[in-house]
Chains A and B, each alone.
Chain A
Amino acid sequence: MVQFLGVLFDGLAYGSLLFLISVGLSVTLGLMNFANLAHGAFAMLGGYLSVTFMGALGVPYLATLPLAFLGAALVGGLMERLLYRRLYTESHLRQVLFTIGLVFMSMAATTYIWGSGAQAVRLPQFLQGQVQVGGIQLGIFRLFMMATIVVIAVLLGILAKYTRFGAHIRAAVENRAAAIGMGIDVERVLCITFAFGSGLAGLGGALGIQVIGLDPSFPIKYLVYFLLVVVVGGAGTFKGPLIAAAVVGVVDTAGKYYAPAAGSFTMYALMIVLLLAFPAGFYGRRS
C-alpha cells in the first residue's frame, strides 16, 4: 500500500508537469485548431536555457526558472508572428509537415550545441532529499514542483474566469468569427496565448529536468504524451487536460514501476484505448 501511494505521488508529480507543459498546447489548439506537434521543443528550449544559465553564468537553479519561461515565451511569440501565423488557414497536412520539420530542426540543433547526453541539475540544498509524510517518503523537490504548478494552475483559472483577457480567450475558443465580430483582436490574443503557452512549456521543461529528464530527443519522446493529454482532455479547456494529465502520469509511472519489462508499451496501449473511448475528449469539443 505504501508503495502504491509512493507511485501515486510520483505519478501525480509527473502528471502535473505534463499539465503545465500541455496547457498552452490545449489552448492554442482550441483557438486555432492548429496542432503544434513542435510544442515539446519549446519545453526543451526552456530546459536547455536553464541548464545554460546555470552552467555558463552560474545562476542558481531556481533563478533560471523564470528565465526559462521568458526565453521560451519570447521565442514562441516570435515564431507565432513570423511563421505559424502563415499556416493557420492551410491544410492539416501542411501544418503537420511544418511542425514535424521544426521538431527535427530543434532536435538536431540541440544535439549540435549541447551534445546528445542527458542534462542534470544542481538542486539547491533545501530542495534535496525527501520528507516523511504519514509513512511514505516524498521527494521534496517533487513537492515543491507540484506546489508551484498548482499555484500556476489556480492563477490560470483566475485569469481565465475573471480577467478580460481570459474572457477574450474563452470567447475566441468558443466562436472565433463571433469574437472577431465583437471587436476582439483575435490575432493579438493568439500571439500572446501562444507565447504564454510556450513560456509555460519552457518552465515545465526546466522544472522537469530532474523528474522527466532532458535530452535532445525530448520533443519526440513526449510528443504523444502532450497530444494525448490535449486530445483526451479536450482541446481548449483547462479542467480536461488537468485530469487527463493526472491519469496519464499515474498510469505511466505505475506501468513503469510494476511492469518494467513492458517499458512504455502499457502507456501506448492505454493511449490507444483512451483515444478510442474518448474521441472528443473528457470534456471537450472535437479538436
Chain B
Amino acid sequence: MNPSSMFVKLASTAFWLTPVAFYFLFPGHLLLGSQILVMALFALSLDLLLGYAGVISLGHAAFFGIGAYTAGLLAVHGWGEPISGLLAAALVAALAGLPVSFMVLRGGNLARLLITIAIATLLFEASNQATSITGGADGLQGMETWKLLGLFSFDMSGSTGYWYCFTTLLMCFLFLQRLAASPFGLSLRSIRENEHRAAAVGVPVRQRQIIAFVVSGAIAGLAGALLAQTTHFVGLEVLSLHRSSDGLLVLVLGGVGQLYGALVGASAFMLTQDALASLNPVYWEFWLGLLLVLVALFARNGILGAIDLSGRLAKRGRR
C-alpha cells in the first residue's frame, strides 16, 4: 500500500474515532453531539444532490421536515419504536421525493431553485396552519420514543441518542461512499460536470437525477427523524429556509462532492454556533450571513479544499 493511500486510511479511521472520543471526553454535551451528527447527515444528503447530481436546492429542509414529522406523528399517536419510525420517515420522504423531483428538474436553474424554495415554504405554511395535526408554531409535543432495540432508553443523558445518531450516520456514509464509487455514482458526477455531454454519451440524465433526488430525500428524512426521536420534539424550523440554507452552507464550508466535506463542515459550523449561542440571535444571523458571503467570495473548495491545497503545496515545497 503506497504512503498516500495509507495516509488516507489512517486519516479516515482517525476521523471516525473522533465522535467516539467526543463521547468519552464531553459526556455532558451529548445532546450537542447528536445535533452535530444530525446536521452532518442532512448535509451528506444534500451532497448527493448537489455535489453528485449537480442540483442546487434551497428547499431540502422539506425532506428533513417530512422525516421529522413522520417520526414525530408516529410517536405521538402511539408508535414510538425508533427504528421502524426511522425507516417509515425515510420511506415517506423518498415517496415525496419522487413528485418533487419531477417538478424541480423541469425548468432551468432559476426556476429549479425557486420551486425548491416554494415547495419547502408551502410545506412550512401547511404545517403552520394545520395546528391540530402538527402543533403549528408551538411544535409537535408529547412524543415518546421507546427503548432502542428494547434495551436502551432515550434518557436525559443523551447517550442512547448519541450512539443511535452515530450509527445511522456511519451506515449512511458507507452507503453513499459505495454509491459514489459505483458506475451510478460516476454517472452522477458526469452529470454534475457536464450535463449535456453526459447525455451525449448515453447517460439518461433525468432518470439519474430523479434517483439521486429520491435517495437524497430519504436520507434527509432519516436525519429529520433522528432529530425528532432524540429531542422528542418537532418544531416548525425543521421546514424552514434557515434549515435549508444552513445545510447548504455547511456543505460548501466543508467541501462539496467529497462526502467528508459534509461531516467536517457540520462539525465546524455546529461547534461555532454552540460557542456563540449566548449571543443575541440577531448577531448570529448577521455573522451567519457574513459567513455565507465570505464563503461564496473566497472559499474555493471549502475546508477540505484548503487542506488538499496546503497538502499539495507542501509536497511541492519538499521537492
Counting CB contacts under 8 A, is A203 at the interface?
A: no
Residue in B107, B122, B285 whose beta carbon sits within 8 Å of that of A104 in the complex: B285
Bound: A187/B113 CA distance, A: 26
Counting CB contacts under 8 A, is A150 at the interface?
A: no
Counting CB contacts under 8 A, is B25 at the interface?
A: no
B85-141 contacts to A (CB < 8 Å): 103, 106-111, 113-115, 117-119, 121-122, 125-126, 128-129
B56 surroundings in chain A (CB, below 8 A): 92-93, 96
Residue in B113, B252, B294 whose beta carbon sits within 8 Å of that of A35 in the complex: B113
Counting CB contacts under 8 A, is B205 at the interface?
A: no
Is the pair B125, A105 in contact by a Cβ cutoff of 8 Å? no
Counting CB contacts under 8 A, is B283 at the interface?
A: yes
Shortest C-beta distance, B126 to chain A (Å), equals 6
Is the pair A97, B108 in contact by a Cβ cutoff of 8 Å? no
Residue in A105, A235, A263 whose beta carbon sits within 8 Å of that of B293 in the complex: A105
Counting CB contacts under 8 A, is B50 at the interface?
A: yes
B58 surroundings in chain A (CB, below 8 A): 96, 100
A264 surroundings in chain B (CB, below 8 A): 121, 125
Counting CB contacts under 8 A, is B295 at the interface?
A: yes
A111 surroundings in chain B (CB, below 8 A): 282, 285
Bound: A193/B109 CA distance, A: 23
Counting CB contacts under 8 A, is B289 at the interface?
A: yes
Is the pair B296, A94 in contact by a Cβ cutoff of 8 Å? yes
A224 surroundings in chain B (CB, below 8 A): 114, 117-118, 121
Is the pair A279, B107 in contact by a Cβ cutoff of 8 Å? yes
Given the known interface contacts A263-B129, A272-B118, the answer about A97 and B111 at a Cβ–Cβ threshold of 8 Å is no
Bound: A185/B200 CA distance, A: 37
Counting CB contacts under 8 A, is A138 at the interface?
A: no
Is the pair A101, B114 in contact by a Cβ cutoff of 8 Å? no
Counting CB contacts under 8 A, is A86 at the interface?
A: yes
Bound: A262/B130 CA distance, A: 9
Shortest C-beta distance, A78 to chain B (Å), equals 15
Bound: A35/B117 CA distance, A: 14
A96 surroundings in chain B (CB, below 8 A): 56, 58, 113, 248
Residue in A94, A223, A275, A287 whose beta carbon sits within 8 Å of that of B115 in the complex: A275
Given the known interface contacts A98-B296, A98-B297, A264-B125, the answer about A231 and B110 at a Cβ–Cβ threshold of 8 Å is yes
Bound: A90/B296 CA distance, A: 9
Shortest C-beta distance, B127 to chain A (Å), equals 11
Binary flags per residue of A92-114, CB closer than 8 Å to B gives 1, else 0: 11111110111111111101100
B286 surroundings in chain A (CB, below 8 A): 104-105, 108-109, 112
Shortest C-beta distance, B241 to chain A (Å), equals 6
A80-139 contacts to B (CB < 8 Å): 83, 86-87, 90, 92-98, 100-109, 111-112
Judged by DSSP, the binding face of A is helix
The number of chain A residues touching the other chain, given as a range, is 35 or more
Shortest C-beta distance, A241 to chain B (Å), equals 14
Is the pair B289, A103 in contact by a Cβ cutoff of 8 Å? yes
Is the pair B125, A108 in contact by a Cβ cutoff of 8 Å? no
Counting CB contacts under 8 A, is A56 at the interface?
A: no
Bound: A280/B126 CA distance, A: 28
Is the pair B113, A107 in contact by a Cβ cutoff of 8 Å? no
Is the pair A276, B129 in contact by a Cβ cutoff of 8 Å? no
Given the known interface contacts A102-B289, A107-B285, the answer about A268 and B296 at a Cβ–Cβ threshold of 8 Å is no
Counting CB contacts under 8 A, is A271 at the interface?
A: yes
**Who on chain B is nearest to A93 by CB?**
B56
Given the known interface contacts A102-B289, A108-B286, A264-B125, the answer about A95 and B296 at a Cβ–Cβ threshold of 8 Å is yes
Counting CB contacts under 8 A, is A261 at the interface?
A: yes
Is the pair A275, B107 in contact by a Cβ cutoff of 8 Å? yes
Bound: A276/B121 CA distance, A: 17
Shortest C-beta distance, B224 to chain A (Å), equals 20
Is the pair A97, B292 in contact by a Cβ cutoff of 8 Å? yes
Contacts A101-B294, A275-B106 known; list 18 others, CB within 8 Å.
A86-B297, A96-B113, A102-B289, A103-B289, A104-B292, A107-B285, A108-B286, A108-B289, A112-B286, A224-B117, A227-B113, A231-B110, A263-B129, A264-B121, A268-B118, A268-B121, A276-B106, A279-B111
Q: Can you list 28 A-B pairs, Cβ within 8 angstroms, ordered by A?
A: A35-B110, A87-B296, A93-B252, A93-B256, A97-B295, A97-B296, A98-B292, A98-B297, A100-B58, A101-B293, A102-B293, A104-B285, A104-B288, A105-B290, A107-B285, A108-B289, A111-B285, A224-B121, A227-B117, A228-B118, A231-B114, A235-B110, A263-B128, A268-B118, A268-B122, A272-B122, A275-B118, A280-B107
Binding site for A on B (CB under 8 A): 50, 56, 58, 103, 106-111, 113-115, 117-119, 121-122, 125-126, 128-129, 241, 245, 248-249, 252, 256, 282-283, 285-286, 288-297
